[in-house]
Amino acid sequence: MQRQAELEALALQCDRCQGCALATGRQQVVVGRGNPEARLMLIGEAPGADEDAQGQPFVGRSGQLLDQLLIAAGLDPQRDLYICNAIKCRPPANRRPKPAELAACRPWLARQIGLIDPQLVVLVGATALEAVLGIKGGITGLRGQWCDASAGPLQEELRGRRLLPILHPSYLLRFGRESDGSPRWLTRRDLAAVREALTAAPN
């Protein structure tokens, strides 16, 4: 309950944030959804139009696909995980967040990681990989490989946690194929590995 109260306080502070120019274009700040007590945290890129309108991350087409894939892997999005984004305000025309915007929002993400205290962290897409580990352009090579944050801007907050980069669902939406080796097939495999790691991790 303490954690829930602290997250609510954090959300109220986020609502007032004027840390970068994205504050002027948002309808609302999008903080997180799911179970604050979960041992698994997913971090995506940024809210899109649907998320900005509803105030919840991953509720548009990408989010619906992500939920389907999580459920297919045996993970309940309400019970088994907490999900948020690297930045909390929608960039105009859904462009990628700029490095200065990622930096301005990082203290919020750092506090979320501290409060949720997850054992496992899934980095959903290239921007999350950049925001969390400081790695640009490495998602295709790094997806599916467990790592730790021995370097990068959030290394303190992430000490002792296992991280797994995966492809972003908006990328998967461009490829309907499910054949072996396809982006969707790889992501199903990666999420199955997450489920397995969660089951194996001590409570």
From the list 16-24, 58-66, 96-104, 108-116, the region that binds ligand URA by CB under 6 A is 58-66
**Which residues does residue 123 pair with via DSSP β-bridges, in sequence order?**
43, 165
Told to check if 97 binds ligand URA by CB under 6 A, we report no
Judged by CB, which is closer to ligand URA: 118, or 125? 125
Residues 6+ apart with CB under 8 A from 184: 69, 172, 175, 176, 177, 178
Token pair of 50 as six digits: 């649907």
How far, in whole angstroms, is CA 170 from its chain's centroid? 13
CA distance linking residue 22 with residue 7, whole number of Å? 22
Residue of 7, 33, 40, 45 that binds ligand URA (CB under 6 A): 45
Told to check if 153 binds ligand URA by CB under 6 A, we report no
Told to check if 157 binds ligand URA by CB under 6 A, we report no
Judged by CB, which is closer to ligand URA: 40, or 46? 46
Residues 6+ apart with CB under 8 A from 19: 104, 105
Told to check if 44 binds ligand URA by CB under 6 A, we report yes
Told to check if 190 binds ligand URA by CB under 6 A, we report no
Told to check if 57 binds ligand URA by CB under 6 A, we report yes
Told to check if 112 binds ligand URA by CB under 6 A, we report no
Told to check if 58 binds ligand URA by CB under 6 A, we report yes
Q: Angle between the 2-15 and 99-116 helix axes, to the nearest 10 degrees? A: 160
Binding residues vs ligand URA (CB under 6 A): 44-48, 51, 57-58, 60, 62-63, 85
